[in-house]
Amino acid sequence: MSYWQNKVAVVTGASSGLGLAIAQALVAHGAKVALAARDADRLDEAARSLAGGETLGHGGDNVLAVPTDVTRDDDVAALFERSIKAFGRLDLLVNSAGRSTRSEALATTPQQFQELLEANFLSVVRCVQQAAPHLIRSHGHLVNIGSLASKTAMPVLGAYPASKFALAAYSQQLRLSLGPQGVHVLLVCPGPIAREDAGRRYEEQAADLPASARKPGGGARLRRIDPHWLAARILKACERRRPELVVPAKAKVLFAISQLWPSLGDWILGRYS
């Protein structure tokens, strides 16, 4: 029997991309999943696909869709209230909601920094505070989807690295505080995820930036990651209760160099981006 059989998960950012791929993997392994995202129509479509065409946006045996803006306290509280009411427990929270941007650091306004911190960091704080009592009870798993930008900063990603660095620090704090209470905390730091609109998403934002800024990862020379392959790796990392998952793994060498020799790390980053 699968490790995930009959376990209960909440996945944010679940209407597309990596969040949806993780939800699909969980359902395939027999888990019950609450899907959360802002766009109610896309979320319902995702829920229908997972439930074999049934309308499960208002509750069902294995899939529940809860339209949620994770930057709003009331929405997040309602997400967990509905999830616990429908499934009775919580074994896994995956914080996958978030967004990136393109701009030079000096051209990024305080308001833009605040918006990215809300979307990529404070949203996770809200969800964790709601989920923690249930995860402590189940000795469950908390997965925060960061980025390679959680560890190193590309020059044209605007407020994105700052928001993901904050998430990395928070994840370490949670490992230290929740670990002794039986909760596994995993920070996932992937490179660019393969998607249909790769290379076109930031055309307007990057109009005055180098052409590389339009590319996934802000021009980092990395192979695009299949979200379904990564979803499987994330579930396996949970089963093994690993603290971090960095993809590609070779990026950890750059992280180590940057900590020990910042100037050399900056040179390598410039050379390969």
List, by residue number, the catalytic residues. 160
Is the distance from CB of 73 to CB of 95 less than 8 angstroms? no
Is the distance from CB of 116 to CB of 162 less than 8 angstroms? yes
Q: Distance from first CA to last CA of the chain, Å, rounded?
A: 44
Which tokens is 162 given? 């700052």
Task: Count Cβ neighbours within 10 Å for each residue of 214-229 and write b for 16 or more, e otherwise.
Answer: bbbbbbbebeebebee
Angle at 190 between CA 203 and CA 27, to 5 degrees: 105
CA nearest to 89, candidates 144, 142, 138, 139:
138
Question: How far lies 44's CA from each of 9, 15, 32, 63, in Å?
Answer: 17, 8, 16, 10
Instruction: Give the C-alpha separation, 134 to 82, whole Å.
Output: 13
Would strands 244-247 and 184-190 be described as parallel, antiparallel, or unpaired? parallel
Alpha carbon 71 to its chain's center: 14
DSSP symbols for 85-150 = HHHS--SEEEE-------B-GGGS-HHHHHHHHIIIIIHHHHHHHHHHHHHHHHT-EEEEE--GGG
